[in-house]
C-alpha cells in the first residue's frame, strides 16, 4: 500500500466512524468475518470495513464518502443469499454496509392496507407486525427469521405463496433507495395507481444492490386468512402433479395458496438429517405435493374443496396416497418438512443449485429431460428436486452420493450439470434464476441466456446510475469488474 492510499484509507475509516459511530464500524478481520462470508460458507471475501448505519441519512453520508474516495460498497441484509450476492470479493477494497440496525416498522395504515418498513426489518418481524394489526404480509420463505425486507426487495424474493400473492415486485408500492453518490430516491407514497412516468422503484427491486441501496419500502397488506386446509399428497409423477394443480385451480380458484412439488430423495434427505421429524405418509414415494388452500372463513367449504380435489385426483390415477392436515399443528409439520430441504442440503454439502422457472405446460417434461441428462453425467447423484410448482419454479439441486466427498462431487459435476440444466431451461424459454437472483454464482451464465441487447441495456442502466461501478461490483452483470 502506498503512503497516499494508506492516508486515504485512514481518512475514509475516520469518516465512516464519524458517521455511524465507533461501535457500528468494524475493521478487525475477526469481527468482519460473519459479514464477509456467506451463510453457506462458500464465498469468503475481505473488506476494508463493515458499517452498520442506523438511518437513511447515515447510509447517504456513507455512500457520499465512499463515492468521494472511489471505494466500492457491498450492501447486505440478512446475508442469506444462495448466490454469493451479499458478500465482498477477496480484493478487500470494499466497505460492507449492513442494514440490520434499520429495523423500524415505520407505519401501518390499515385503511390503506399498507405497511412502511425500514430495510433491516426481518421478514418474520414484518409478518408479525402485520398480523398484530390484523393483516397479512404474504411473502413466505424458509429464512424469514434472518432475511430482511431490503434483501427480499433487492432480490425480488418469491417463496411458497407466490401462486396466490405474487413476488416482492407485486407486493411493493414504493421504496426509498440511496444512490451511489449519496442522493436519496423516494417513492414512499403508498399509491396503488401512479402513472407519472417511469416506474423507477422496479429498477431497484431485483437489481441485487447494484444500482442503489434500498433503505425503506411501502408494502401491500392483505386480509388475514380465516381458514386453511392442507394435504401432503403422493402423486404418480410430475405430469400428474401438473394435472392435479389444474384441477385444484378449477375447484378452488384463488384459494389455492401454495402448491409445492417434492421429490422422494428431497424428503428422505430431510428425514435422515432430522430424525425427530416424521414422514407424513406410511410409504416412500417418488413424487409428492404439498397443497395449501386458504380463504377468509368457511373452513368446511375449504375442506370440501380439498376433498373434491383429492377424489378427482384418485379417480384419474394422479394421486396414489394422501395425508390431510387435521390441525394447524399438522399443517405446520408438513411445512417444516418442506422448508428444511434447503438447510438439509447445506448440512450435507455438495449440492448443485439450479433455480429454474418454466411455463407450467412444459415443467413436467423439463423435469424428466433434465433428470435424464443429469443422471447420464452423474449417475449416483441424489435427485433433490422440489419447489414452487404452482408458479412454475423448480429447485433442481442434484446432491452428492452418500459415499462421495462434497468437494469431489462438485469439482467433477458442478459446471457440467448446471450447464446442462440451465441450458435446457434457456432453450425452452425458461429462466436460470426464478427467485434466487444472480449474485456471482450465476453472473457469467447470463452471457448464455440473455440476448446482446438485454446485456447492453443492463450495462447502460448500470452506467447511468453507478458510473464508477462502486455498488456491489462484480455481481449480476457479466463482464470484467473494470468494464464500466
Measured from the CB of residue 434, what is the shortest distance to ligand 2HG in angstroms? 9
Closer residue to ligand 2HG (CB): 56 or 80 = 80
Closer residue to ligand 2HG (CB): 142 or 212 = 142
Cα 295 to chain centroid distance, Å, stands at 26
Measured from the CB of residue 47, what is the shortest distance to ligand 2HG in angstroms? 26
Matching residue, cell 447445506: 346
- By CB under 6 A, name the one of 331, 397, 418, 469 that touches ligand 2HG: 397
Q: What is the DSSP letter of 477?
A: S
Closer residue to ligand 2HG (CB): 95 or 389 = 389
DSSP per-residue string spanning 384-449: EEEE-GGGTEEEEEEE--TTS-HHHHHHHHHHHHHHHHHHHHHHTT-BSBSSS--TTTTGGGHHHH
Q: Is 156 in the site for ligand 2HG (CB under 6 A)?
A: no
Helix pair 264-273, 328-348: axis angle to 10 deg: 90
Q: Is 294 in the site for ligand 2HG (CB under 6 A)?
A: no
Contact 96, 38 (CB under 8 A): no
Looking only at residues 368 through 387 of this chain, which bind ligand 2HG when binding is defined by CB under 6 A?
Answer: 387
Measured from the CB of residue 296, what is the shortest distance to ligand 2HG in angstroms? 27
- By CB under 6 A, name the one of 100, 135, 201, 353 that touches ligand 2HG: 353
Closer residue to ligand 2HG (CB): 171 or 318 = 171
Contact 337, 264 (CB under 8 A): no
Q: Are strands 73-76 and 95-98 parallel, antiparallel or unpaired?
A: parallel
Measured from the CB of residue 300, what is the shortest distance to ligand 2HG in angstroms? 31
Measured from the CB of residue 221, what is the shortest distance to ligand 2HG in angstroms? 23
Spatial distance between the Cα atoms of 261 and 388, rounded to a whole number of angstroms:
7
Contact 96, 53 (CB under 8 A): no
Site string (134-153) toward ligand 2HG, x via CB under 6 A = --------x-----------
Closer residue to ligand 2HG (CB): 360 or 484 = 360
Measured from the CB of residue 34, what is the shortest distance to ligand 2HG in angstroms? 20
Handedness of CA 117, 119, 125, 128 (dihedral sign): positive
Count of residues near ligand 2HG by CB under 6 A: 8
Backbone angles phi, psi at 309, to 5 degrees: -65, -45
Tell me which residue has its CB nearest to ligand 2HG. Answer: 342
Cα 350 to chain centroid distance, Å, stands at 20
Residues within the interface to ligand 2HG (CB under 6 A): 82, 142, 341-342, 353, 387, 395, 397
Amino acid at each position: 500500500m502506498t503512503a497516499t492510499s494508506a492516508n486515504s484509507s485512514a481518512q475514509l475509516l475516520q469518516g465512516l466512524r464519524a458517521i455511524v459511530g465507533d461501535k457500528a464500524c468494524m475493521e478487525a478481520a475477526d469481527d468482519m468475518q460473519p459479514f464477509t462470508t456467506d451463510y453457506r460458507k462458500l464465498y469468503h471475501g475481505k473488506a476494508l470495513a463493515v458499517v452498520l448505519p442506523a438511518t437513511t441519512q447515515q447510509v447517504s453520508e456513507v455512500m457520499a464518502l465512499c463515492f468521494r474516495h472511489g471505494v466500492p460498497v457491498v450492501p447486505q441484509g440478512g446475508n442469506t443469499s444462495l448466490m454469493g450476492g451479499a458478500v465482498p470479493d477477496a480484493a478487500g477494497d470494499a466497505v460492507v454496509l449492513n442494514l440490520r440496525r434499520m429495523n423500524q416498522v415505520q407505519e401501518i395504515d390499515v385503511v390503506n392496507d399498507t405497511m412502511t418498513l425500514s430495510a433491516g426489518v426481518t421478514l418474520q418481524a414484518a409478518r408479525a407486525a402485520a398480523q398484530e394489526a390484523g393483516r397479512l404480509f404474504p411473502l413466505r420463505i424458509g429464512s424469514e427469521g434472518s432475511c430482511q425486507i431490503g434483501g427480499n426487495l433487492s432480490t425480488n424474493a418469491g417463496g411458497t405463496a407466490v401462486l396466490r400473492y405474487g413476488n416482492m415486485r407485486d407486493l411493493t408500492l414504493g421504496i426509498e433507495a440511496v444512490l451511489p453518490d449519496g442522493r436519496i430516491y423516494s417513492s414512499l407514497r403508498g399509491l396503488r395507481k401512479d402513472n407519472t412516468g417511469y416506474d423507477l422503484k422496479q429498477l431497484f427491486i431485483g437489481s441485487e444492490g447494484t444500482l442503489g441501496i434500498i433503505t425503506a419500502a411501502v408494502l401491500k397488506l392483505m386480509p388475514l386468512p380465516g381458514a386453511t386446509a392442507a394435504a401432503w399428497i403422493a402423486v404418480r409423477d410430475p405430469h400428474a402433479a401438473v394435472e392435479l394443480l389444474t384441477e385444484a385451480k378449477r375447484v378452488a380458484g384463488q384459494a389455492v395458496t401454495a402448491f409445492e412439488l417434492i421429490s422422494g430423495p428431497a424428503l428422505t434427505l430431510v428425514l435422515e438429517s432430522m430424525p425427530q421429524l416424521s414422514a407424513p405418509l406410511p410409504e416412500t414415494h417418488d413424487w409428492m405435493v404439498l397443497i395449501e388452500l386458504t380463504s377468509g372463513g368457511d373452513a368446511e367449504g375449504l375442506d370440501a374443496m380439498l376433498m373434491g380435489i383429492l377424489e378427482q385426483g384418485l379417480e384419474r390415477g394422479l394421486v396414489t396416497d394422501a395425508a390431510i392436515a387435521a390441525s394447524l399443528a399438522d399443517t405446520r409439520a408438513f411445512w417444516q418438512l418442506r422448508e428444511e430441504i434447503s438447510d438439509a442440503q447445506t448440512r450435507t454439502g455438495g449440492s448443485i443449485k439450479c433455480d429454474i422457472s418454466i411455463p407450467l405446460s412444459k415443467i413436467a417434461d423439463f423435469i424428466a429431460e433434465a433428470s435424464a441428462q443429469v443422471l447420464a453425467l452423474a449417475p449416483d447423484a441424489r435427485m433433490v428436486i422440489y419447489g414452487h410448482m404452482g408458479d412454475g419454479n423448480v429447485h433442481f439441486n442434484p446432491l452428492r452420493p452418500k459415499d462421495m466427498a462434497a468437494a469431489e462431487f462438485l469439482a467433477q459435476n458442478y459446471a457440467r450439470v448446471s450447464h446442462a440444466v440451465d441450458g435446457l431451461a434457456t432453450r425452452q424459454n425458461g429462466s436460470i434464476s426464478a427467485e434466487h437472483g444472480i449474485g456471482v454464482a450465476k453472473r457469467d451464465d447470463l452471457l448464455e441466456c440473455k440476448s446482446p441487447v438485454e446485456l447492453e441495456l443492463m450495462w447502460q442502466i448500470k452506467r447511468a446510475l453507478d458510473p464508477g461501478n462502486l455498488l456491489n461490483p462484480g455481481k449480476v452483470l457479466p463482464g470484467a469488474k473494470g468494464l464500466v
